[in-house]
Structure 1
């Protein structure tokens, strides 16, 4: 029997009348109703909008406490299909039937976005006024940016034509020969205009570019980029009015988005334009950096050298910097150092001068010139670049220590402790000050420092180093049999659910919590967080003992979104009154990935694996790095294939296997186990090799004299130094939170759980959570005293 299809408008009216007239669902019907809502939502997320609405039509919102979501999802599906009138009817019903719902601004946003894509800017403006600034999520923010930019465009009067694109050119007014590149084909764009054409104003062009830069991977940002590219191919993007800064920003944004050919084309056009000298030279530098990143350093150098005559000093300094870098890569280290040291005296900008001096200092270390390196690092103590400044302050003090200039080293390390930075960075200075005091014969002063550091979980690896100086092998904790304290980790989440459901919430907040819980169970995490954020923060603290700012993280954690939970805690102050639950959200257990939290995997403790996974992927099982590392433990496919037999995998390993969490963890554990055996149980070298490879570890260990702290400071990949600090910081947090009795045995003076040492709870600056993406792989182009290692 053929399926009967109603006209869209009639179908929506019938659906809305059903919502009003259908009898309410009884309490016993609620589970079935929830499952129907889940079914429709699943279709919605797969963009099967018609099917989703058919499923939703089986539910009546009358008496259903998620009825506003039913209406919102229906309106959302209509708006996404461009059925604006029908979606607007649903919005009216939503606002009238559920006046307290948080979803009305979200549906207004969908209508504004649909109208903007259809060129109906009058309607877009109307709905945007009701939604702007009231929606959350990166995707919606990119759509909001697109709408705002569209509303700044100017309509082209009927009958007025558009310009044609200029022909490609080979030479600009400065005599620089450029490639003649044809304009790329126009990409797919939004639906054709239904209400006239629009042209860019400078304000609209800037707004579209800002949206593309900030939200590059989101749909709204992609539409902004397509809009800009269409204007460019039509010859109507006002490049000259916007200036060279805009052009360079546009090209850089295209390059970061992976649009290499488009970026090259924009750079070419910009360099052919008649720009003021300052803007021209700035874009030329950007283009040279673009070429260098494409692997064409020689071409970049040639292009810049041709423009040096008559160029401002800052430009010439940048050219010299690139020339010195080419020399260093070619093995001409002495020549490179000489050039780098000349740049700060040649009228370079402060930023270039700092980078040059930093490069020279690291090359001096490579050449064995410790006094020269120490002197140059000392000159960078006031650098404006925070990374350069922090490392230079330490390297200056450390150089004095290695030269046995203990009095000056002690003063420099003490100043470093007060210079800011993370808890680990402060502990780093304190630890080496303790070593310095020992070198001066002040044994008691050094011991007091080591005892303080060893009692602070916020000190990361330096707590372990300090304990070793006190005669305790705290690294043995990582290999010790489990204390049994984590044997119930699989029940922890369910016990927390029971606590939330049974808590005495206020009449105002109880319904919000129950809705958040229902949505979490249904897998609608973003909407659960939306409801959770409406709960009074004082009420959350009263009922759960948790700071209100952690509420969104709590519901993401309960929904299994560990990465989202951790990211929700970024920037939140540590809450001393709720260290247990707050820390569990920042450093969560993942039995669904790792399995038994008490039993070792390939001889590796599960808490060690958690510490590595948190740093490698932030518990995102399908994470993929630019270098090709895959999954929770960021395994390279070739490494995974090599260790597969040790993990008990006999068949040929497929790339898709690395996306299976339990298999990825098994392979990662096997990799770490092999490294631990290779290094005689040395976790520091094993973790370093997991990140940077055995060859690099062999170089760094060669001059470390068996000293783990000295080994860490000999690591010349900045990424690997940071990786080791973060992983061992994570390790101490996991043991402190989940195995406090075991932790107290190996760190006997450590504070008990609930009274953490300063910096122990929460995420200290620079040592905690990586951002939205996994930590980058170490720069394999950097040799042992790599200039980038600052």
Structure 2
């Protein structure tokens, strides 16, 4: 017999079942909500703006303290270290940031430890700094910042062996030469840092060693290093009886240079049809953008001179679309009577830099990026167009505009930029507005275009205030002391002429004089600035007014021919870059 039906018991079971199912449902809802919130949090974290040296200061400070990602906290602190002046604040930011697995490749941990040790040393905390250097080398012995640790701990032998091309090793080599003499330091610098300040004296001394004379092979090495220093006389003394071979060394012309030499001869003779055919056979479509711009411009001018004006216009329009920068873009736009097309927006990042170096650059750690580059390449000179671009921009970041701009120019001529965005980025890097305040003020005072003076300064000194020419010209606009004295009305020292503001004022005044004497002809004025008004004035003829581009090619001084095109092309490129937002 079945037990009697108990309504209350059955109801309790139902209620309990509902409660259990409800609890499970609530738990599932809670779990789903938690997962959704976690996913939302991860999405929001991923959407945070990246940290870089241009980030808002208040955002960097918040990130340094409160960001949930310890890596981002460290990045923010490293950026802030470069933006604060006093060492005590730097040390506070850097404490506890040297974490990382020594067995794995670590980029920022050893840099943090290095900067901490430097801040301690600056504050006079000698013993603490020593311990920090020791800890850095012990934890990260293969990381480039450990080279600085070896230098600080006075271990030059280990430094030369482990980090031979690191700037710390090159500085240690100069110090070694000054304190101990011998040939070791000079040979090390000839192999890994022949352009390093102080390397010239060490290499010259190594050549003259009598106790342990260097081999003939090493003398060749030292002589090459002295040539890189610009001391041909010392290089010849080093080689002794082989000096005539050194003096006769001439770099052979490239195929592109030979082709342009032939083209120029045809143009100067006004053999328009032959020049056009020769340029067409070279196929501009296969040339780098700057070389193709030159070919297309002259093909257009050759067509124009033969009465084929529609073809000339089509060639120039195509040229401007392909490469809207430089001297030939300016001349094509003048010939067409149009404004050159606005250039494409510059790529946001260099692209060609290895990821670790791009990271350091973005954080404002420019010296660290340069030291890593030199260490990884063992001081090997950049040869490929890509490496020239990489090294050029790294040199600019650490203030070496002399070699940096030269390398970027070479990279551009080789066609390293593969698209228009990269073209704009490279042109922007090649035309920095260094000293624009001083140059702009001087230009306005003299009544000339600021970007013209900027272009002159870029060509004269590569925007370097301390460079001096073999002839004795000094400073940003490479003024001869006698010319500067005439312009200023008083005798000036070379140190005074190295000041950007004074050099800019005198250079602007001199360029204005050249413009006045040239009756406003910018070609003749720029040529006069380089070759002198007497020489340039003797070159005037009808071609200057009728075909100024051809007049430039008839200038008898090769240096002045290149100079005029570089200055005026630079001015135009600066104007184009000013259109980029």
Scaled by the length of structure 2, the TM-score of the pair is: 0.61
* 1:385 corresponding residue in structure 2: 253
CA drift at 1:132: 2.6
In the superposition, relative to structure 1, how do residues 443 and 725 fare at CA in structure 2: closer, same or farther (>3 Å)?
same
1:722 matched residue in structure 2: 562
Q: Say whether residues 1:409 and 2:279 are aligned partners.
A: no
Note the C-alpha offset of 1:686: 1.0
Q: CA separation of 1:681/1:473 partners in 2, compared to 1, >3 Å: closer, same or farther?
A: farther
Q: Which residue number in structure 2 is paired with residue 600 of structure 1? A: 444
Q: 1:667 to 1:262 in 2, by over 3 A?
A: closer
Would the aligned equivalents of 1:465 and 1:708 in 2 still touch at CA under 8 Å? no
1:464 counterpart = 2:441: no
**Contact 1:679–1:686, Cα closer than 8 Å, also in 2:** yes
- Residue 526 of structure 2: aligned partner: 687
**Residues 461, 286 of structure 1: CA spacing in aligned structure 2 closer, same or farther, 3 A cutoff?**
same
Contact 1:622 1:631 in 2 (8 A): yes
Partner of 2:196: 218
1:683 and 1:711 mapped to 2: Cα distance?
12
Give deviations 1:587-639, integer Å, cap 9, x for gaps. 22246643658983411111222222222222222222222211111111222
User: Counterpart of 1:228?
Assistant: 206
Name the CA shift for 1:607/1:628 in 2 (closer, same or farther; >3 Å): same
CA contact (8 A) 1:617 1:632 kept: yes
Q: Secondary structure at the match of 1:427?
A: helix
Deviation (angstroms), 1:464: 3.4
Q: Determine whether 1:237 maps to 2:208.
A: no
Query: How many residue pairs end up in the alignment?
Result: 458
Can you list the C-alpha shifts for 1:31-81, whole angstroms capped at 9, x where unaligned? 9x97999566xxxxxxxxxxxxxx99997964578962455327989xxxx
Separation of aligned partners in 2, 1:250 and 1:103: 26
Contact in 2 for aligned 1:464/1:474 (Cα 8 Å):
no
Measure the CA separation in 1 of the matches of 2:144 and 2:223.
Answer: 38
- Gapped regions of structure 1 (runs ≥ 5): 1-25, 41-54, 78-82, 117-123, 151-187, 193-198, 272-282, 290-317, 319-350, 356-383, 476-498, 501-507, 520-524, 534-548, 645-649, 741-752, 755-790
Residue 553 of structure 2 is aligned to residue 713 of structure 1: yes
Looking at structure 1, the residues matched to 236 and 426 of structure 2 have their Cα atoms a distance apart, in angstroms, of 47
* Aligned position for 1:303: none
Q: Structure 2 CA distance, aligned partners of 1:577 and 1:461?
A: 20
**Aligned ranges 1:155-554 → 2 under 5 Å:** 189-191=178-180, 209=187, 211-212=189-190, 215-218=193-196, 221=199, 225=203, 228-229=206-207, 232-234=209-211, 236-237=212-213, 239=215, 242=216, 246-247=218-219, 250-251=222-223, 253-254=225-226, 257=229, 265-268=237-240, 271=241, 283=242, 285-286=244-245, 289=247, 385-386=253-254, 389-400=255-266, 405-416=271-282, 418=284, 423-453=289-319, 458=324, 460-470=326-336, 472=337, 516-517=363-364, 526-527=367-368
Q: Tell me how far 1:718 sits from its aligned partner.
A: 1.8
Higher helix share: 2
Where does residue 508 of structure 2 map in the other structure? Answer: 669
Q: Distance in 1 between matches of 2:221 and 2:140?
A: 44
State the secondary structure of the residue aligned to 2:543.
coil
CA distance in 1, matches of 2:180, 2:207: 15
Change (3 A) 1:426 1:105: same
**Cα 1:467–1:513, aligned 2, differ >3 Å: closer, same or farther?**
closer
Distance, in Å, in 1 between the alignment partners of 2:160 and 2:399 is 33
Structure 2 portions without partners, runs of 5+: 1-63, 66-76, 99-110, 341-347, 350-354, 375-388
Q: Distance in 2 between matches of 1:210 and 1:101?
A: 20
Local SS of the residue matching 2:476: coil
* Higher radius of gyration, 1 or 2: 2
Deviations 1:436-464 (A, max 9, x none): 32344433222322333455655633333
The match for 1:132 is 163
Alpha-carbon RMSD across the aligned residues, in angstroms, is 5.3
Q: CA deviation at 1:579?
A: 6.9
Counterpart in the other structure of 1:10: none
Is the alpha carbon distance of 1:430 and 1:110 closer, same or farther for their aligned partners in structure 2, counting shifts above 3 Å? Answer: same
State how 1:572-721 maps to structure 2 within 5 Å.
Answer: 573=417, 576-577=420-421, 583-590=427-434, 593-594=437-438, 600-644=444-488, 653-702=492-541, 704=543, 706=545, 707-721=547-561
Q: Could you list the per-position Cα deviations for residues 651-701 of structure 1 after superposition, in whole angstroms to 9, with x for gaps in the alignment?
A: 554433322212211111111111111112111111111111123322333
More deviation in 602-611 or 398-407? 398-407
TM-score, normalised by the number of residues in structure 1? 0.47
Task: Return the alpha-carbon distance in structure 2 between the equivalents of residues 255 and 583 of structure 1.
Answer: 30
Change in CA separation of 1:552 and 1:74 when aligned onto 2, cut-off 3 Å: farther
Distance in 1 between residues matched to 2:466 and 2:424, nearest whole Å: 29
Q: Distance in 2 between matches of 1:560 and 1:237?
A: 37
Identify the residue that residue 3 of structure 1 maps to in structure 2: none
